[in-house]
Each structure stands twice: as structure tokens, then as C-alpha cells.
Amino acid sequence: METTIKLGISSCLLGEAVRWNGDHKLDRFLADTLGKFVEYVPVCPEVECGFGIPREPFRLVGDPDSPRFVTSRTKIDYTERMTEWARKRVIELEKEDLCGFIFKSRSPSSGMERVKVYSEKGMPVKKGVGMFARAFMEHFPLLPVEEDGRLHDLKLRENFIERIFAFKRWREGLEEKQNRGGLVDFHTRHKMLILSHSPAHHRLMGKLVARAKEVPLKELYEEYQKLFLEALRLKTTPKKNANVMIHILGYFKKQLSADEKQELLEIIGLYREGTVPLIVPITLVNHYVRKYDQPYLREQYYLHPHPLELQLRNHV
Ligand code: SF4
């Protein structure tokens, strides 16, 4: 990666004591492990909006699609103040070139989904979005976003981190001079990755790139970006990953010995039935890529989508 990946994050997840009660919500994986590979841009909506520490906690009240932001006990309505601050803050964040955002779950300011919204009678429904999180997602609809709680699910974690690395590569491509050759090269190196998420998108994007010369450049980039980000949002599954690896095997067909082929097929089978994690067959595939010097496969981001140290494929 040529430049650092910048990620927005709710400040309390990095251990900053900014919560209403003066506490924090330090997440060791985010702060220490992922933190080695990204540069965080911390945002605490409530403190930055001028509410002190400690402070009375807030809650969302009313219509879940357009709730009011009020203090829980004294019921003071700060909706306008928070809305105005969030509107300005997301504009400021444009200059940070973020590749994603990690929100603190359940917060009336920062929660990305399923935040409690109370009726006037005090009954909660988990249908809300935090005030700042909503403004952020509306302003940056393409950016990958996740919550701390969901990132404890190892599949969601792998998917999110793969997406931020892919988004970074796409953005770096956009920053260079845009041309059809550059887009075709980007697509070529991401083919297997796209296939592992969505065979349907893989087909559509292949068709789009095949008629690249006929499509105006701006339209081509916009359509490709839409499909690329849409595809990566869809989850990989053992079945899809196994199919990609069988597809990859096709490139070695003539070079692998019968034993090597058998061993790889067996390991892919063990992965597919859940006996070994994805890293096991991927490591063997990478070994053959090196051994038989396969330049096309060596360039495939599917085989190295994010740093090995994050161990994301050791658990999926
Ligand atoms: S959840 Fe959001 S508003 Fe609350 S302390 Fe964390 S960053 Fe601040």
C-alpha cells in the first residue's frame, strides 16, 4: 500500500475517556492490531458538539426514521444543535480521504443501526441510527462502515477489512490519470476477489470491461465503481471460495502432478466442510503460484487481500 489507509472511528473505541460517565470503550483489536495498519481519525460527536464530560446521557425519541436527540432525564431537545454540528463535521471530513468508519454500537450519536428509539411513553424499539452516523452515511454512501460489536464476528471483520483495503486500491487508481487500460488492469487483478463475493457481479463487470471502448470514460468508471463496491458488500461463503480455488486450479492443470492436484482438492474439500480455515488452502495455492511461477495468479488480490499479520483468514 503506497499511502496509509485512513479510517474514521468513534473516539471512545480508542480508549479516549469521552463517554457521558467519563469512561471509554477501548477495543484492543481496533486500537492495537488493526491500528498498526491504518491511521485513525477519531470523532466523538457529543464532545465535539460541546457537551461536557461527564454529561447527562442522550437518547433518541419519536419517529425511528427521524428521531429527536434529547437528554434522557431532563428531556432537553438538542436535535438541531447536533444536526447542525454533524452537517458541518461530515463536510470537514471530506479532506481526510477516509476509506471507512468504525462506529460505536448502540450510541444515539454514533450507532450505525439498531439504536434504541423511545416512544413518548418511554418504550424503546431498536430501529434507530445515531445522529452523526446517519449524517456520515448519507454524506458518504459508498464508504465501508461497521460497528465495534459487529466486528467481533470474524466473518464480518474479514469482509470489512477486505473492503477497506480494496477501497483504498480503487481510490489510488482514481487519483492516477483515468484511462481504460488502467481500469482493465485493476479489474484483471481483482477478478478472483470479485468472483469470491459474487459470480453475478463478476459476469456483469466482465461484460462492462469488455465493452470499455464503447462506453464514455466517466460513465465507465462510475458504473464499474458501483458494481465493484456492491460486489464486495456481499459475503463470501465456503462454497464461493471453494469454487474460486477450483477455478484457480484450472490455471495449474498441466503443471501440477497428480498428487499435488489431489492434495489441493482434498484441502479445498476440508475447507468447504468447515474442518480447516480458509488460510490453509490459500497457503497451498500461494505455494503453487510461486513454485510454478504463475504471473496472472501472483497478481490476484484474492490471494493476498490484506496483511497476513491480521490473521483474518485463520478463522473463516
Ligand atoms: S459513542 Fe460516540 S458520542 Fe459516545 S463517547 Fe463514543 S464517540 Fe463519543
Distance 140 CA to ligand 1 centre (A): 20
**Ligand 1 in contact with 109 (CB < 6 A)?**
yes
Strand partners, 38: 5
* 94 pLDDT higher than 60: yes
Lowest mean pLDDT among 71-85, 162-176, 235-249, 262-276: 162-176
H helices of 176-236, where? 180-197, 199-210, 217-233
Residue 82 pLDDT: 98
Rounded distance, CA 7 to CA 205, Å? 28
Residue from 7, 9, 10 to probe ligand 1 pocket by mutation (most atoms less than 8 Å from CB): 10
**Ligand 1 in contact with 11 (CB < 6 A)?**
yes
**Ligand 1 in contact with 129 (CB < 6 A)?**
no
Residue 174 pLDDT: 83
Nearest to 207, CA basis, from 223, 222, 196, 193: 223
Residue 177 pLDDT: 78
* 74 pLDDT higher than 80: yes
**Ligand 1 in contact with 107 (CB < 6 A)?**
yes
Distance 130 CA to ligand 1 centre (A): 10
Q: At what angle do helices 199-210 and 217-233 cross, to 10 degrees?
A: 170
Rounded distance, CA 217 to CA 77, Å? 48
CA 10 to ligand 1: nearest atom: 7
Residue 1 pLDDT: 44
Atom 4 of ligand 1: nearest residue by CA position: 19
Q: Across all residues in the chain, what is the average pLDDT?
A: 95
Distance 71 CA to ligand 1 centre (A): 14
- Give the tens place of pLDDT for each residue, 178-231: 899 999 999 999 999 999 999 999 999 999 999 999 999 999 999 999 999 999
- Give the tens place of pLDDT for each residue, 269-301: 999 999 999 999 999 999 999 999 999 999 999
* Degrees to nearest 5, angle at CA 236 with 235 and 240: 140
| Residue 316's pLDDT band (cuts 50, 70, 90) | confident
Q: At what angle do helices 279-291 and 258-272 cross, to 10 degrees?
A: 160
Strand partners, 125: 117
CA 19 to ligand 1: nearest atom: 5
* 115 pLDDT higher than 80: yes
**Ligand 1 in contact with 236 (CB < 6 A)?**
no
- Give the tens place of pLDDT for each residue, 4-55: 899 999 999 999 999 999 999 999 999 999 999 999 999 999 999 999 999 9
Atom 6 of ligand 1: nearest residue by CA position: 12
**Ligand 1 in contact with 110 (CB < 6 A)?**
yes
Provide, rounded to the nearest whole percent, the portion of the chain with pLDDT above 70: 99
Residue 2 pLDDT: 56
**Ligand 1 in contact with 44 (CB < 6 A)?**
yes
Handedness of CA 283, 284, 290, 295 (dihedral sign): negative
Residue 223 pLDDT: 96
Distance 240 CA to ligand 1 centre (A): 37
